Amino acid sequence: MTLAIQARGLTRRFGAVLAVDSIDLEIEEGETFALLGPNGAGKTTFISMLCTLTRPSGGTAVVGGFDVARESLKVRRTIGIVFQEPSLDDLLTGAENLRLHCLLYGVPPREIEGRVERMLRTVGLKGREGERVRGYSGGMKRRLEIARGLIHRPRILFLDEPTLGLDPVSRRAVWDHIREMKAAEKTTIILTTHYMEEADGLSDRVALIDRGRIREMGSPEELKRRVGGDIVRLRGRVAPRDFAGLDFIREMTHEDGGVRLAVDDAPRRLKALLDRCPAASEVEVRRTTLEDVFLKFAGRPLKNGEDAPGTDEEVR
């Protein structure tokens, strides 16, 4: 196992605010890792320290084999960054922004045009590359930002809220591209998000972060299992004894007019359940989401009541 990232007691204070509170974390090469948490949880601050953009108040971090404090230049050469704050040059065209970035990152000059072409197609900006970025829409800027983070083919890629503010079509295109990068280049990807679908559908592992600390960590499936299973409600002629001996049922309660079950991976078990109660008249399945996981381990909801577009979508 080779580690892409190793953080030990990583901490950052801003005055009285403890933005990141002594985080220990190891991420393997090739992993896609999501930090999921509400606004102000410390996501951006944490990855800014890994990217050498923010100095830690305490602790250490090694990224791509280099220490973020002592070898920041080498860290920067190893990583790609797509951050929340736009950092494009508004007065340059889309293509010029990409070329400039290639030069800064030492892409061999004869490869630059080819890569620019390919990236423009990937993010759906081909045909608009000759226009100044100033005239781009928010979504176009975001996609150009992503193209720029990828074009020098970093070994480790940091994406801070990669699809914030994108329409559903662009969001899906970005998700697809992240999956392709992972498959083709074995890029290690660290992303932050407060969309549970994004964390769920893209990542090998998710860390739930709240108030500067990691509250729980694991694969999306593991995390959901820790909550206690999907909920299946059956109504009509059905009783708990119908399900005796089914080992995938974790909890069974009698409730008005039927039975409530907690079940691991309910969609896969549904047939077996219905076979046991052919006279049931109604069935309802509610899958556990990372939202439930967050509520259980952080003790409060993931959403802060802000508008969260795209939460009705699934990443598939």
**Interface residues toward ligand ATP, by CB under 6 A:** 14, 17, 19, 37, 39-45, 194
Residue in 259, 217, 263 with CA at minimum distance from that of residue 242: 259
**Cross-strand bridge partners of residue 23:** 10
**At a CB cut-off of 8 Å and minimum separation 6, what does 121 contact?**
none
Q: Which is nearer to ligand ATP, 155 or 194 (CB)?
A: 194
Smallest separation (angstroms) from ligand ATP to the CB of 270: 36
Smallest separation (angstroms) from ligand ATP to the CB of 37: 5
Q: Which is nearer to ligand ATP, 112 or 217 (CB)?
A: 217
Binding partner at 2 among ligand ATP, Mg ion, none, C-beta below 5 to 8 Å by kind: none
Amino acid at residue number 181: M
Q: Which is nearer to ligand ATP, 101 or 194 (CB)?
A: 194
Amino acid at residue number 301: P
CB-CB neighbours of 87 under 10 Å: 12
Burial letters 176-201, b for 16+ CB under 10 A, else e: ebbeebbeeeebbbbbbbbbbbbbbb
Binding partner at 238 among Mg ion, ligand ATP, none, C-beta below 5 to 8 Å by kind: none
Binding partner at 154 among Mg ion, ligand ATP, none, C-beta below 5 to 8 Å by kind: none
Smallest separation (angstroms) from Mg ion to the CB of 44: 3
3-class secondary structure, 266:
helix
Q: How many residues does the chain have?
A: 316
Q: Which residues bind Mg ion (CB under 5 A)?
A: 43-44
Sign of CA dihedral 241, 243, 248, 250: negative
Q: What DSSP character marks residue 133?
A: G
CB 255 within 8 A of CB 188: no
Q: Which is nearer to ligand ATP, 34 or 277 (CB)?
A: 34
Q: Which is nearer to Mg ion, 250 or 300 (CB)?
A: 300
Smallest separation (angstroms) from ligand ATP to the CB of 38: 7
Smallest separation (angstroms) from ligand ATP to the CB of 42: 4
Binding partner at 103 among Mg ion, ligand ATP, none, C-beta below 5 to 8 Å by kind: none
Smallest separation (angstroms) from ligand ATP to the CB of 162: 12
CA distance 52 to 10: 13
Q: Which is nearer to Mg ion, 44 or 288 (CB)?
A: 44
Binding partner at 258 among Mg ion, ligand ATP, none, C-beta below 5 to 8 Å by kind: none
